Structure 1
């Protein structure tokens, strides 16, 4: 299947991989049976590779619903997105829906439309929820945000309907239960914080702490034993470098544009961990 260059991330996402893509693709295996991405996020790697067969997972149910709607109901989604306006009062009315009983009665299309609208108009494109699972990012006050990027949305739709891409909404370990020799798994988990104030794991109610990082490493080991080729990206903390010291570790630079403080943006070092050599 030929690639569509317009099939790109349609959401801005904390930890998104668009900036790191040039480094990641240097080390992607040439031949992949099934591509697995248990923390798909905005899907930069998935949409760049556009594999014929993939299993994509995320713990964020609103995100996975949005992918499914882009695949299955693109015309209805674009029509609903066109109803939204870039207005502060309107933004807060839409944002407050998940605090009301009526939220559970929204259709999948309406939920996906809300997700994309909030992402395009909220401050810095963050997706963040509070302890009750309610979206709590303030209005971004942007002059002319692209709420309806129809060309990109239709390109992503075309890819998803022409490829065998399965979307899951569960634990990262469950997402790779079927992975076997010949498959490629890319892990892009919430990063180990480089400082006490840098942690951002509020994509959902589920926090990703050191215990989860250790559980992920144990799964990395298990996939290695199965014969899968596995790549993981994370921050260059001593904890992560020690955790994966038995594997190939590459230090790479990536720009970060999502941070509540301007001083936290810019180029930072990250690690790519692989259980195979350069191909």
Structure 2
């Protein structure tokens, strides 16, 4: 099947995602490696960096099984997925939203359509589950949500065509990335900078300090092989300390925080971009 792609359109995220990196890409550009062959993104989320870079070879993974299934369906069966989303669009109302939220279908395509439908209609486009792993975000206040962005999905499908997509823990990258032809971009759940900045739970298990340290150790091992590493995280003393211990470069990025229980704590904040290499792209003069 030939997918008709609108002219002058580049692949970009088709899901709204907490902590998405679309607005930060311009600040990241000077720090991307000059060259690499295989790109890895072990915390895929909305995939903004992958869609921007469009690497020839990419290994995309995430622990979230529903997210990975959705990416696979967008890549492999986008027209069937669009048909299902059109049906969701026709039936959308408050009662329908909660019916879909509370009932998980059996087929992969129906599950993917459910994820996208809920993402486009839930509050703030959050993905959050309870301790039983059930999606629990309430309905958002949208007059006309874009439930079936056909062109966006088709372009994303084409962008994902050559990507390998798998459900996996982030440490699995240790089994694949081996040298300086590899570039790994890590965008983990951020370490909280205060008691109001906790964002619960992207998956049924929260990302703890021990997980952050395991990620740091994973980065250290990859860097010892010559793998190029970039890591995003909060500007916290803990994160600065653990990456300073392994002599990584730490850079400050300006970001906009839009999710916080205290509205006064929303707005511009500093985040960290951490790298294991120094052969950056230089900003154009």
Q: Which runs of 5+ in 1 are unaligned?
A: none
CA distance change for structure 1 residues 172 and 262 in 2, over 3 Å: closer, same or farther? same
Map of 2:166 onto structure 1:
168
Compared CA separation, residues 256 and 18, structure 1 to 2 (3 A): farther
1:130-149 paired onto structure 2 within 5 Å: 130-149=130-149
Distance in structure 2 (CA, Å) of the matches to 1:73 and 1:228:
33
Gaps of 5+ in 2: 1-6
Question: CA 1:19–1:91 in structure 2 vs 1: closer, same or farther (change >3 Å)?
Answer: same
User: Quick check: 2:174–2:218 contact (8 Å CA) kept in 1?
Assistant: no
C-alpha distance in structure 2 between counterparts of 1:261 and 1:145, whole Å: 26
8 Å Cα contact 2:197-2:261 kept in structure 1: no
- The 1:193/1:240 distance shift into structure 2, 3 A limit, reads same
Distance 1:135 1:236 in 2: 29
Instruction: Give the TM-score normalised by structure 2.
Output: 0.91
What's the TM-score once normalised by structure 1's chain length? 0.93
Shift of 1:260: 4.8
Task: Classify 1:253/1:122 alpha carbon distance in 2 versus 1 (closer, same or farther; 3 Å).
Answer: same
Q: Tell me the CA shift for residue 261 of structure 1.
A: 4.6
Distance 1:134 1:179 in 2: 33
Q: For 1:4 and 1:210, how far apart are their aligned partners in 2? A: 43
Matched with 1:86 is 92
Name the residue aligned to 2:268.
267
The Cα shift of 1:197 comes to 2.2
Task: Report matched runs for 1:127-276 at 5 Å.
Answer: 127-161=127-161, 163=162, 165-181=163-179, 182-245=181-244, 246-276=247-277
CA shift for structure 1 position 32: 1.2
Alpha-carbon distance change, 261 to 10 in structure 1, aligned in 2, over 3 angstroms: farther
